[in-house]
Structures are given as structure tokens and as C-alpha cells.
Amino acid sequence: MTSAESTAVSTEGTGPAGEDSIVKRLSTLDRYLAVWILIAMAVGLGLGRVIPGLNDALAKVEIGGISLPIALGLLVMMYPVLAKVRYDKLDAVTGDRKLMISSLVINWILGPAVMFALAWIFLPDLPEYRTGLIIVGLARCIAMVIIWNDLACGDREAAAVLVALNSVFQVLAFGLLGWFYLDLLPGWLGLGDGEHLDISMWEIALNVVVFLGAPLLAGFLTRRVGEEKMGREGYEQRFLPRIGPWALYGLLFTIVILFALQGKTITSQPLDVARIALPLLAYFAVMFFGTFLLGKSLGLAYDRTTTLAFTAAGNNFELAIAVAIATFGVTSGQALSGVVGPLIEVPVLIGLVYVALAWRRKFAPDAVTTAP
């Protein structure tokens, strides 16, 4: 949900007049978000291309394999959204067995399997790129999905729970699934020699703590203290609108840094990028629309269906890139697949935000946009 939409407390109008009033309430940042994202991508690619050594300098600013500029951007992006979560409502989410079980099955059984299949279908002759894509499929999203879900007016509390659930499974299952899909399964299917990932559970846990734990704790404490000082109404109507825009500022900053890191690599290998992009596009389409239809067939409301779909379609690009670089090297094809991931994911998922909102207007006109 955008910062302007978050202040709305009435049912969204279904006619042209209602839609016009919503558009007028949006800030310039919100109204042209897709344009700003494309500009941020272009700026990042341009900086990485024209400034010698910029990507190397940015890559060196890291601790424990975690890029500090990207970590900063993601923390700024996620904090306002997590400060909006009503943590006293989480029990209602965890009690929704259909939502919880569907999320686990989609993210940890279907998602990796779909990416494995698409990687082999589209890249049978390019083993390095194929391995990189499989790693992307194993890294389930725990960060940026929160803002895509919020922009699409998904269930904020459900997103917090599902992301936390994915984080736990990421620590426990990433290494095991990596061994299964990169080493064991190719041998079973007679597809050739397997690959081995060199990453510990500690490194994955650190990734989870930095990109989810820190902003989640900050958001929880902010709401608890804020409600004690101002009351819920004052906190949601006065404080949250002030910090709301920072989520999008953090998103744009993250995109610039991310693409600046690999601008030269991406722009110097356009044909390879195109080959990697095709299975990624297929993956996002299958995961998002397939999950959206599943949510509707299970009788989930629009907001929870949307949350389920975005958590299924998103990936933890930071973890995927870190694993690919640590295991295969910064100039490897596996690393290139990792950096192409967000190049395709960012514009595709912002497009899917608009698809979800169009579905909402047409098929769920009675959905209420509540503050915040």
C-alpha cells in the first residue's frame, strides 16, 4: 500500500469518480512509482558502466559477505512497512491453516522445482547460468516482497508471518535443497555431474538476521512504544504517514546500488542476459498467477491471496548472489545469473502490483482500504 493510500479509511470507489479521487490522493512519488523504478535501474546501470571501479568499490563495503549499502537500503525500505504491522493480529494469520500450509508447499516444494525445470528447459547448454538460476529459485524472498505486497494492498500481517516462516525454513532447508537440486537430482535424472554449494547455515542465518530480523525488531518496538505514547489512532494517523515515504526511498536507493554493482557486467553481455531472462520471466508468471489462482480456489480473500502470490514469486536476490559469488567466483556465470535476477524481478513484480490492483478493482470492489 502506498503512503497516500495508507491514510484512506473508506471503501474504495468502484466507478470512474472513485478511481479519480484515489489518483488525486497519491503523491508524485506514488503516482509515478514505475517510472522512478525504471529511472533508478537506468541510473544504477549507467553508474556501474561509466565510473571505473565503482562496482569493485561498492563490493568491498561489506561485512560477512553482506553488502552494507544494499543492507542499508533494504533496512530503510522495510522498516516503515513493518512499523505499520498490527502485531496483535498475527494470531489470526497463524490460525489460517490453508494460508500457512499453502505457503510452505509453494515456497519450499513447488518453487525450487519450477525453477529447476525451467533452468534445464531454457538453458540445457549453459550449465553455469543454469546453476545460478537454480540457486535463485532456492533463495525464497524475505525482504523486498514486503513492499510489493504493501503496494498491492495485500495483508500486511500475513506478509510478516509468511516472511518470518520463510526465514526459518531458509536457514534449515537452503543447504539441503541446494544439495538435492544441484547434486543429487541431476545424477538421478542422468543430466550429468552435479554441483556443490559452499555456504554454512551460519551465513544464511546472518543474512536472515540482517535483512529481516533487524527491521522486524525495529518495526515491532516502534509500534509498541508509539502506541503507548500516542495511542493507536494517533500512532497510525500522525506518525505512520511521516515515515511511510521512506519505504519507497529505500527501495529506489537499493535498486540504484544493486544495479551499479553489476552495471558493466550486465550491459556488456546483453545476449547472455536475454537467455537468462527468459526462464526468469516464465518463472515469475507461473509462480504469481498459479499461486493467485490457487488462493482464489481455496477461498482466500484478495489481500491474503495477493500476499501468498507475492511471497511465492519473489526471491532473496542478495542471498542468491552471495552464495554464487562465494562458491563460484564474482566473474562466474552463476554470479551473472544471480545479478540478472533482480534486473528482471524488479520491473516484473512492480508490473504485477498493477495487475493485482486491477484484479482488486474488477473482482473485489468491496475490499476496504483501512488505515494505515
Domains parsed from the chain with CATH numbers: 29-363 (1.20.1530.20)
Cα–Cα distance for residue pair 93/105, rounded to 1 Å: 17
Report the pLDDT value the prediction gives residue 331, as an integer from 0 to 100: 66
Cα–Cα distance for residue pair 102/20, rounded to 1 Å: 36
Residues of the chain under the 70 pLDDT cut: 1-31, 55, 59, 63-66, 193-201, 262, 326, 330-331, 364-372
Report the pLDDT value the prediction gives residue 245, as an integer from 0 to 100: 84
In the block, residue with C-alpha cell 533487524: 214
8 Å CB contact between 303 and 155? yes
- The H or E element spanning position 66 is strand 66-67
Cα–Cα distance for residue pair 28/172, rounded to 1 Å: 42
Report the pLDDT value the prediction gives residue 367, as an integer from 0 to 100: 56
Cα–Cα distance for residue pair 356/284, rounded to 1 Å: 14
pTM of the prediction? 0.77
